[in-house]
Each structure stands twice: as C-alpha cells, then as structure tokens.
Amino acid sequence: MKEIFITSNSVKKFEQTYYSIDSNWFNYFTDFKVTTLPNTVSRLNNFLDKSTPFAFVFSGGGDILSNNLVSEGFDEKREEVEEFLIEYSIKNHIPLVAICRGMQKVVTYLEKEINFVENKIAIKEHYEIDNLTLSSNSTINTRTCFNNYSIPFNKEIENSWNVLQVDKHNNLLCIQHKKYKILCFMWHPERDETDFEIISYFIN
C-alpha cells in the first residue's frame, strides 16, 4: 500500500510529548497507509531510511515563525522538520500537499519576503478553480477558511506559483508551484472530506 507521511502537532500533557494529527486524515486517505511523523529530524531520518513516502502532507494547526508576526503556537522542532521535508520533497520529486498552516510554512520558506495580514473573521465562499493544471474539471464547492493570518496576493508570487484561487480580499487560498510538485490549500479538505479528487490526481 502506498504510504503518505503527515506532519503532526506536538502536544504536551502529563510531562510527556505526543505527536497528533486530525483523525479525519485516516478517513480521508482510505486507500493509503497514513503515517504520522515525529517532530524531530533525527527520528524522521529513521522513517525515511525504512520506507519511501508516496507523498507528504503538511497538516494544519498551530502557527509558524514569520518575519512580521508573533506566534503563540510556534513549534521550533516542527519548523525544522517541515523545512527538512520541503528540501527532501524537492530533491526526490515527492509530491507535497500543504494545508492551512502548512501552506503558510511552505510559502514563507520558499518566498522569503512574504508578509502576513491578520484575519478577524472566518471566510466562507464558493470557489471555482478554473485554471488548475491538475485536471480539466476542478470546481470546489463552499469551503470555510478560518486563519489567524492570511497571505496577500502580489504579482511577484506568480513568478513561482500558479495562483489558483484568492478570496474576496485578494488573499491566497490555493496555489500550485510551477517548478516543484507542491500544492497548497488554506482550507482543510480533510474536515469535510472534500477535494479528494484534486489531491489524489495531484499526488498520482
């Protein structure tokens, strides 16, 4: 069975650290083996030595460290793991799907000068992705985005990314890298079990 590696949140409880992901991912990727990754690069190397991932997923949850925001949910070890995996994905041509916080991490790592804007409310809209290079029919029904921060669109981002969808405030919602096999969403497809056709087409 093909294996998908998903990055996790570090949860501290009773003086122990647990690695957790949304259980919906196991229902979402029913045709794949889902492996939750530890937030330490040394242990991650052990995983990669023993198996070859079919794809990586950067899950949501928490915040990232950025040049213009102060994060309460910043996890330094997770940052190191995901930076390692971005490079690993690019070097080994392994598909990477980045969700919500994961999209923020990928974009800020590859595009060093990106700044965030602060969100105040959830954004709920109907999205139609009409220039998606993954498949010919890619309509996305109503999705809800709720993020502390958004990435505003700018023309420079189009040098490296296909901008597939923005919200009514012109913030990035869905982008696909022009050179690397990376697809990013600001909403959570696993929560409503949506957009699987698009993601499956992409990673295959």
Is a pLDDT exceeding 50 seen at residue 131? no
Q: Which region holds residue 170: left if phi is over 0, alpha if psi is between -120 and 50, else beta?
A: left
Spell out the residues 6+ positions from residue 196 whose beta carbon is closer than 8 angstroms to its own.
28, 189
The pTM (predicted TM-score) of the whole model is: 0.82
* Candidates 3.40.50.150, 3.40.50.880, 3.40.47.10, 3.40.980.10; CATH matching 3-203: 3.40.50.880
What ranges do the domains of the chain cover? Answer: 3-203
Written as one letter, the residue type at 100 is C
Q: Which of 3, 39, 20, 21 is nearest to 99 (CA)?
A: 21
State whether residue 133 is helix, strand or coil: coil
- State pLDDT tens for residues 24-81: 777 788 888 888 888 888 888 888 888 889 999 998 766 565 554 445 556 778 888 9
